[in-house]
Chains A and B, each alone.
Chain A
Amino acid sequence: MTEAYIFDAVRTPRGKGRKDGSLHEITPVQLATQTLEALRDRNNLDTSVVDDVVLGCVSPVGEQGGNIARVAAMNANYAETTAGFQVNRFCASGLEAVNIAAAKVMSGEADMVVGGGVEGMSRVPMGSDGAAWAADPAVAIKNYFIPQGISADLIATKYGYSRDDVDAYSVESQKRATASWENRLFDKSIVPVKDVIGGVVLDHDEFIRSSTTMQSLGALKPAFTDMGAFGFDNVAIQKYPEIEAIKHVHHAGNSSGIVDGAAGILVGSKEMGERLGLKARARIKGMASVGSEPTIMLTGPSFSAEKALKRAGMSKSDIDLWELNEAFAAVVLRFMEALDIDHSDINVNGGAIAMGHPLGATGAMILGTVLDELERSGKETALATLCIGAGMGTATIIERV
């Protein structure tokens, strides 16, 4: 079987996902286009060798609808022969896109593929595409649907994470992200976003709140208390009847931020890389996706990590760095507990609590981030994973070459 290598990884900075966010004036297709352009230009890539562009996007409607991947490839002036398609694995879409790109290479279907993702959350709000899972009563009731915030609070309740635990994790995320920016650790990947007249509208992650402390987080009210009281707490308890009451600990300060952004990763075979004179940065050692209990929903990462390790014939101790999307603080706390991972080995550059989570793009972003960190720190292997709506996990293991 052909092996799949990562040749490059880029991402836009993340803009606040609101009207006053710096990327609000930029169309999502532009965000995706500029990452594709960067991959091409940084690598002097003859795009006629790029077989496919796979982009994750979680709300693929309106301006993000109609197969944004192919449209972005056309828009970036890639060769007409470069195909494109959009995938939706909810929050892991960007990582799944990379895994699909790798699988295409491994299977011999393709030699060079871009995997990535895009989400303009300020323009196409979460939930814009509807969902039978939440809205169709026959589906929602049968499957004990609860919103993710309640799921995160359910994790905290079930596994005993206090408000202080989740807040402390979040303060650390802000610190790490701030330090990473101060030390210019993201420079290798960041592609500043430009407007139609060529001006840079954003060159850094603008969501970070460096001044965050336990005191400042302590002032925030739990976000999901009312929603829970409306009925969702009760639904959660019907699925987890050993619980007396859901303790609501999550709020905007210990959950991932709503932001705009895009990312792209260039994946290909060794032979094609050599032919193009590209230096392989990492090899994709393992990949896996798995379904998990959908009501608690966000415990999938540990299962997907275990599955990917097993399929790669590796064990936990073979992984030097871990990267898990910080959807909610409790998700990471649970992952660390389940796999017995030290906080110093995971999300070392901060994560989505500090920098934001542009749904369809995040998976590709964190894979790029951990690749940069492997190179910087001289470490060898990393595993990136994300928790996913409706109870899933997707993981990717990479190894520097």
Chain B
Amino acid sequence: MTDTIRYEVDSDGIALLTIDLPGANMNVINQQLMDDLDTCVDRVLSDDAVKGAVITSGKAAFVAGADLNMLGESTGADQTPEEAFQSAFRLNSIFRKMETGGKDRKILAKQGTKPFAAALNGLALGGGLEMALACHYRVCADHPKLQLGMPESQVGLLPGGGGTQRLPRLIGIQAALQAITTGKPFNPMTAAGLGIVDEIAPLEEVVAKATAWVAKTASALAPWDKKGFKYPGGAGAMNPKAVQTFIGASAMVQKQTQHNYPAIEAILSCLYEGGIVDFDTAIRIESKYFVKLLADPVAGNMIRTLFINKQAVEKGSLRPEGHERKKIKRLGMLGAGLMGAGVAYVSAKSGMDVVLLDRDSAAAEKGKDYSRKLVEKGVSRGKVSKEKGEALLERITTTSDYADLKDCDFIIEAVFEAEDIKKSVTEATEAAIGDDIVFASNTSTLPITGLAKNFTRPHQFIGVHFFSPVDKMPLVEIILGEKTDDATIALALDYVSQIKKTPIVVNDSRGFYTSRCFGTYVQEGYAMVQEGITPALIDNAGKMVGMPVGPLAVGDEVAIDLSHKISKATRLALGDDYIESPADAFIEKMVVELERFGRKNGKGVYAYPEDGSKKHLWVGLSEHFPPAAEQPSVEELQSRLMVRMAVECAKCFEEGVLIDASSGDIGAIFGWGFAPYTGGPFSFIDTYGVAEFVAEADRLATAYGARFTPPQLLRDMAANGETFYSKSDTRGRLAKAA
């Protein structure tokens, strides 16, 4: 008996190792579990009365992977290469001892070793699956949704417990590459088909089946420890098929990662190099690449934002204390346009009833059609059952009658972005709903405090900003008006949690946080065109620095005339305070003179051929914005795009629009695709070095304009040697109260 593993030996001499971390609802591989597993393996191997062992879990899941908090702490740790290697190799050496019995290679090949079997009662991810692969036999519960996978690449790491070596030796290089680089899990049936698991059994039988296998197995030997072992499909630097696979994979990976994700490259190297050498050398190579990734800031930044902090906000870290969790049963959705239709769908999907209201029933029905299409698609692809799909649609009631909102316990408004329309809709709704019902607006441009004036209970008025397409975009930006109270915030967060999206909470500001900062990306792209920089270079710079699309291409998607409208409205609202942007002239010319609005009218920076063929840069652009003879380097453009966005994010922090650094990072990545490998703008500034960032921003301000001038906050931080995050503080610096 150890702290994390129960050790029992039955009358046949078969040890049952039940992993059960105290005080946790999931098993994760931490230091304690490694120590305990090491001890248990030694005990199995040294006790002559023990014939072999079965490993299972005392939780619903088997093992969910490594403890990312532990790994997060060891990123960038100050160790010698040898120390770092030894610490990374620990897991590999324990697993390898389990697999070989600690025997010399030649003796092992002759004798085999005591059999270990994994009884996978539930999900096995990352180190959990690697542990199972290091066993000689795997029995998996037959639940179709049970996940078996190696998601490490998603947080900038690689499977460091032999996963990059055992999986390709089991299922071949191509399939393993795919699984490990994408992190996509297998279900038990697929895994069995590929040979990742040996047997599938009902949940209650997995331990018995695994035990039975151990009982009948006198000695076991991993396939790769047998003499003459060959990879399925071949491997090695002289195997034409394997070579072709790697040549292709390297290109595909560069296309996807633009050289920004070292983990993907390291995974390729582990598989390639591991296919040339013997297993024991291969796992040493794997551990060395693992150490290399841990030392790179990308992994630490990705773990912190994409895992630790994302999970924290999803679990309610932003929720004000002292308010009971509530469940929304019936949502009133005002406006059945693209956004309203999307919100209705995701809400109904999560089990809520939705009253979808628009001007007339035809418009409301059209909004419901959006859900019908998505359901139809889901059913035809077998993602959702016909019954569930029908039930979802039945939960959406369409109407044009405000009286139908009376039983709703939460209202979201997504009508046309015009103050007068918002006003009349808000008033009509308030008259129909209960006097304690929260009203949320999905505006993306109009300040919430202003809109709240249309509602007699401004403390129960809040912004919930969705992103399009709502069913795909994971973020919801919650915006507080001046008077929004804590109970209202809590309820809005409960709603977001119910529809399984990721929330951030921000204070009111023009464009809030995401729209305001995202806008600078597009605007900077336009400023560059105005300067005579060629559009291909600009959009390639955006993609190469890690943004999902170039600024000009995404500008076409959101529509140039919309940018025009917003800047006009902003100019009107700010009066003399409006700061002229070099993008203004570009936008003015495109919209007013050239009537190029973007994809919506088939004419933007890109041309969208009517025959549906691929868009391409509009050839006329160079006529109206003549290219400069001297073009800047792509690195200069990358710096401009990143620093411009990050400066605006830092301003939002300084002004108190953001409440903490982690919200800023999460909002940036999930809201507008801010280069995920950076961990978000605040992680980016930290990694850059605050002082170095300030110097670069000052340089750009001198070269291109005051919009790059860093806020005083960053100068102060630089002067004091401060950062947004520290080892002990994953949430990051808190902004001053707004």
Known A135-B243, A141-B265, A141-B268: A238·B544 in contact at CB below 8 Å: yes
The listed residue (A134, A235, A245) touching B254 by CB distance below 8 A is: A235
List A residues 140-179 near B (Cβ within 8 Å): 140-141, 144-146
Q: What B residues does A141 contact at CB under 8 A? A: 250, 253-254, 259, 265, 268
List B residues 244-282 near A (Cβ within 8 Å): 246-255, 258-259, 265, 268-269, 272-273
- Cα of A268 to Cα of B93 in the assembled complex, Å: 62
In the assembled complex, A303 has its CB within 8 A of some CB on chain B: no
* Contact indicator A231/B252 (Cβ below 8 Å): yes
Q: What A residues does B237 contact at CB under 8 A? A: 130, 132, 135-136
**Interface SS of chain B: helix, strand, loop or mixed?**
helix
In the assembled complex, B534 has its CB within 8 A of some CB on chain A: yes
- Cα of A138 to Cα of B254 in the assembled complex, Å: 12
In the assembled complex, B238 has its CB within 8 A of some CB on chain A: yes
Interface size class of B (residues with CB under 8 A): 20 to 34
Known A135-B243, A135-B272: A234·B255 in contact at CB below 8 Å: yes
- Cα of A140 to Cα of B259 in the assembled complex, Å: 12
The listed residue (A127, A232, A244) touching B251 by CB distance below 8 A is: A232
- Counting chain A CB atoms within 10 Å of each CB, which of B247, B249, B537, B540 scores highest? B247
- Cα of A235 to Cα of B249 in the assembled complex, Å: 12
The listed residue (A135, A146, A231, A242) touching B536 by CB distance below 8 A is: A242
Q: What A residues does B253 contact at CB under 8 A? A: 137, 141, 231
- Smallest Cβ-Cβ distance to B250: which chain A residue: A140
In the assembled complex, B617 has its CB within 8 A of some CB on chain A: yes
Known A135-B272, A141-B265, A231-B251: A130·B238 in contact at CB below 8 Å: yes
Q: What B residues does A234 contact at CB under 8 A? A: 251, 254-255
Q: What B residues does A230 contact at CB under 8 A? A: 248, 251-252, 255
* Contact indicator B534/A145 (Cβ below 8 Å): no
List A residues 216-236 near B (Cβ within 8 Å): 230-232, 234-235
A-contact bits for B582-616, CB 8 A (1 contact / 0 none):
00000000000000000000000000000000001
In the assembled complex, B336 has its CB within 8 A of some CB on chain A: no
The listed residue (B250, B616, B617, B634) touching A145 by CB distance below 8 A is: B250
In the assembled complex, A401 has its CB within 8 A of some CB on chain B: no
* Contact indicator B259/A238 (Cβ below 8 Å): yes
In the assembled complex, B334 has its CB within 8 A of some CB on chain A: no
In the assembled complex, A26 has its CB within 8 A of some CB on chain B: no
* Contact indicator A243/B536 (Cβ below 8 Å): yes
- Smallest Cβ-Cβ distance to B267: which chain A residue: A137
The listed residue (A135, A242, A245) touching B246 by CB distance below 8 A is: A135
- Smallest Cβ-Cβ distance to B537: which chain A residue: A242
Known A136-B246, A137-B246, A232-B251: A241·B265 in contact at CB below 8 Å: no
- Cα of A136 to Cα of B250 in the assembled complex, Å: 9
Q: What B residues does A146 contact at CB under 8 A? A: 251
- Counting chain A CB atoms within 10 Å of each CB, which of B240, B243, B255 scores highest? B255
In the assembled complex, A290 has its CB within 8 A of some CB on chain B: no
- Cα of A146 to Cα of B253 in the assembled complex, Å: 13
- Cα of A141 to Cα of B272 in the assembled complex, Å: 13
In the assembled complex, A237 has its CB within 8 A of some CB on chain B: yes
The listed residue (B255, B540, B617) touching A235 by CB distance below 8 A is: B255
List A residues 361-399 near B (Cβ within 8 Å): none
In the assembled complex, B631 has its CB within 8 A of some CB on chain A: yes
Q: What B residues does A137 contact at CB under 8 A? A: 246, 249-250, 253, 265, 268-269, 272
- Nearest-Cβ distance from residue A230 to partner chain B, whole angstroms: 6
Q: What B residues does A138 contact at CB under 8 A? A: 265, 268-269, 272
* Contact indicator A241/B251 (Cβ below 8 Å): no
- Cα of A138 to Cα of B269 in the assembled complex, Å: 6
- Counting chain A CB atoms within 10 Å of each CB, which of B238, B535, B541 scores highest? B238
- Smallest Cβ-Cβ distance to B237: which chain A residue: A130
* Contact indicator A241/B243 (Cβ below 8 Å): no
Q: What B residues does A231 contact at CB under 8 A? A: 248, 251-255
- Cα of A245 to Cα of B539 in the assembled complex, Å: 12
Known A130-B238, A237-B540: A135·B247 in contact at CB below 8 Å: yes
- Cα of A130 to Cα of B244 in the assembled complex, Å: 10
- Cα of A228 to Cα of B247 in the assembled complex, Å: 13
- Nearest-Cβ distance from residue B181 to partner chain A, whole angstroms: 11
Known A137-B268, A141-B265: A245·B251 in contact at CB below 8 Å: no
List A residues 99-141 near B (Cβ within 8 Å): 127, 130, 132, 134-138, 140-141
Q: What A residues does B243 contact at CB under 8 A? A: 127, 130, 134-135
Q: What A residues does B617 contact at CB under 8 A? A: 244
- Cα of A242 to Cα of B617 in the assembled complex, Å: 12
- Nearest-Cβ distance from residue B182 to partner chain A, whole angstroms: 15
Q: What A residues does B259 contact at CB under 8 A? A: 141, 238
- Cα of A22 to Cα of B250 in the assembled complex, Å: 37
- Cα of A134 to Cα of B537 in the assembled complex, Å: 27
* Contact indicator B247/A140 (Cβ below 8 Å): yes
- Cα of A245 to Cα of B537 in the assembled complex, Å: 11
* Contact indicator B634/A241 (Cβ below 8 Å): yes
- Cα of A130 to Cα of B539 in the assembled complex, Å: 36
- Nearest-Cβ distance from residue B551 to partner chain A, whole angstroms: 14
- Smallest Cβ-Cβ distance to B544: which chain A residue: A238
- Nearest-Cβ distance from residue A2 to partner chain B, whole angstroms: 42
- Smallest Cβ-Cβ distance to B538: which chain A residue: A241
- Smallest Cβ-Cβ distance to B633: which chain A residue: A241
- Nearest-Cβ distance from residue B191 to partner chain A, whole angstroms: 26
- Cα of A130 to Cα of B240 in the assembled complex, Å: 8
- Nearest-Cβ distance from residue B530 to partner chain A, whole angstroms: 18
- Cα of A234 to Cα of B539 in the assembled complex, Å: 13
- Cα of A56 to Cα of B541 in the assembled complex, Å: 42
- Counting chain B CB atoms within 10 Å of each CB, which of A134, A141, A144 scores highest? A141
* Contact indicator A241/B541 (Cβ below 8 Å): yes
- Smallest Cβ-Cβ distance to A138: which chain B residue: B269
Q: What B residues does A232 contact at CB under 8 A? A: 251
- Cα of A363 to Cα of B589 in the assembled complex, Å: 56
- Smallest Cβ-Cβ distance to B268: which chain A residue: A137
- Nearest-Cβ distance from residue A201 to partner chain B, whole angstroms: 29
Q: What A residues does B273 contact at CB under 8 A? A: 136
- Cα of A132 to Cα of B248 in the assembled complex, Å: 14
- Cα of A242 to Cα of B535 in the assembled complex, Å: 8
- Cα of A237 to Cα of B246 in the assembled complex, Å: 20
- Nearest-Cβ distance from residue B614 to partner chain A, whole angstroms: 8
- Cα of A263 to Cα of B536 in the assembled complex, Å: 46
- Smallest Cβ-Cβ distance to A144: which chain B residue: B254
- Cα of A116 to Cα of B537 in the assembled complex, Å: 45
- Smallest Cβ-Cβ distance to B539: which chain A residue: A244
- Nearest-Cβ distance from residue A144 to partner chain B, whole angstroms: 8
- Smallest Cβ-Cβ distance to A132: which chain B residue: B237
Q: What B residues does A244 contact at CB under 8 A? A: 535-536, 539-540, 616-617
Known A137-B269, A230-B252, A243-B536: A238·B247 in contact at CB below 8 Å: no
- Cα of A243 to Cα of B631 in the assembled complex, Å: 13
Q: What B residues does A140 contact at CB under 8 A? A: 246-247, 250-251
- Cα of A127 to Cα of B534 in the assembled complex, Å: 38
- Cα of A332 to Cα of B109 in the assembled complex, Å: 58
- Nearest-Cβ distance from residue A318 to partner chain B, whole angstroms: 34
- Nearest-Cβ distance from residue A293 to partner chain B, whole angstroms: 15
List B residues 668-701 near A (Cβ within 8 Å): none
Known contacts A127-B243, A138-B268, A234-B254; 13 additional CB pairs below 8 A are A132-B237, A135-B247, A135-B272, A136-B237, A137-B269, A144-B254, A145-B251, A231-B248, A241-B541, A241-B544, A242-B534, A243-B536, A244-B616
Q: Closest 7 interchain pairs by CB? A: A231-B251, A137-B268, A241-B540, A244-B536, A231-B255, A234-B255, A140-B250
CB within 8 Å of B: which residues of A? 127, 130, 132, 134-138, 140-141, 144-146, 230-232, 234-235, 237-238, 241-245
CB within 8 Å of A: which residues of B? 237-238, 240, 243, 246-255, 258-259, 265, 268-269, 272-273, 534-537, 539-541, 544, 616-617, 631, 634
15 sample A-B contacts, Cβ–Cβ < 8 Å, listed by A number: A127-B240, A130-B238, A134-B243, A135-B246, A135-B272, A136-B237, A137-B265, A140-B247, A141-B250, A145-B251, A234-B254, A238-B254, A238-B540, A243-B536, A243-B540
